[in-house]
Amino acid sequence: MSTVDLTGQVALVTGGAGGIGAAVVRRLAKLGARVAVVDLNAAGAQRLASAAGGIAIVGDVTDPSVMPEAAAQVEKELGRLDIVHLNAGIGGGQAGVDDALDVARYRKLVGVNVDHVVYGLCAAVPALRRQGGGKIVITSSLAGLAAMPSDPLYTLTKHAVVGYVRAAGEALAADGIVVAALCPGFVDTLLLGAAKEEFDAVSFPLLTPSDIADALQAVLTDAEPGEAWIIQPGGQASAYRFRGVPGVGGGQMPPDVVLGRR
């Protein structure tokens, strides 16, 4: 694993009071960073923030005002912002492929998994620019790279995150801001719900939150702008290699055209 010294740096982690977020908060603190923990769970956020030498920020990340206010509070109280991990996420919880759609539940899913990512990135960019650059890491999923028929709506949101990361990564690279995504397989957290028993019954290997913290540490040192890093049990996290887009007549479209540089 790549080594990194974050002494003097400040990080912000959403969904930081439990699961992946808590493991990342602990890892960033161990590497020397002070960490702002954003979560709806006030007691959990305060507990993690105290251990990380940072601050707790309680709020609903689907509220457009929360992430800008969080970024401003971090700069005011901790003096700067260098690393942002937009990690908060929820599962779909419904099929999403028939007329029984629970619209309120669907909007909540999109609010947490997509809107919060946009709000968080836009809120962080001015602060990172003031430091001459920084890192924004977003938790997506393998469902952002491949179909997950058991949860089409979750798949939709995670594909959206990967697409956003790929485009935003290129758009912000000139500012010294590296935007990358983590795309783990199934992780042993509360998000698995009842599926945890099914996985255990067939001895299906699961990732741990610590595995994701390992991957984030690698991304902080090795990721290129716009990359999506795959994380699977027993393997080393690595950047996914996307295929090119076919051009006119079946040829390969030049990357500059694909990325809108011309």
Q: How confident is the model at residue 92 (pLDDT cuts 50, 70, 90)?
A: confident
The pLDDT score that the predictor gives to residue 258 is 47
- SS percent in the chain: helix, strand, coil, step 5: 45, 15, 35
Q: How confident is the model at residue 1 (pLDDT cuts 50, 70, 90)?
A: low
Residue extents of the structural domains in the chain: 10-258
Task: Verify whether residue 106 is a known catalytic residue.
Answer: no
Average pLDDT over residues 73-90: 97
The pLDDT score that the predictor gives to residue 261 is 45
User: Going by C-beta distance under 8 Å and a sequence separation of 6 or more, which residues neighbour residue 107?
Assistant: none
The pLDDT score that the predictor gives to residue 262 is 36
- And the tokens for 141? 């999923």
The pLDDT score that the predictor gives to residue 260 is 47
| Rounded Cα–Cα distance for residues 244 and 230 (Å) | 18
Measured in whole angstroms, the distance separating CA 146 from the mean position of its chain's CA atoms is 17
Q: Which three-class secondary structure state does DSSP give residue 86?
A: strand
Residues 124/12, Cβ–Cβ less than 8 Å? yes
Q: Which three-class secondary structure state does DSSP give residue 182?
A: strand
* Least confident range of 24-28, 156-160, 165-169, 246-250: 246-250
Q: pLDDT tens across 51-74, in order?
A: 889 999 999 999 999 999 999 999
- And the tokens for 226? 């716009």
Residues 41/67, Cβ–Cβ less than 8 Å? no
| Alpha-carbon dihedral 248, 252, 255, 258, rounded to 10 degrees | 40
Residues 144/183, Cβ–Cβ less than 8 Å? yes
Neighbours of 118 (CB within 10 A): 16
The pLDDT score that the predictor gives to residue 140 is 97
| Rounded Cα–Cα distance for residues 251 and 151 (Å) | 35
Catalytic residue among 106, 119, 154, 164: 154
Q: pLDDT tens across 168-182, in order?
A: 999 999 999 999 999
Task: Please give the DSSP secondary-structure letter assigned to residue 19.
Answer: H
The pLDDT score that the predictor gives to residue 254 is 59
H-assigned helices in the chain: 19-30, 42-51, 66-78, 103-110, 116-130, 152-172, 195-201, 209-222, 255-258
Architecture per CATH, domain 10-258, reads as 3-Layer(aba) Sandwich (3.40)
The pLDDT score that the predictor gives to residue 48 is 95
pTM of the predicted structure, to 2 decimals: 0.91
Residues 142/164, Cβ–Cβ less than 8 Å? no
- Of residues 198 and 155, more confidently modeled: 155
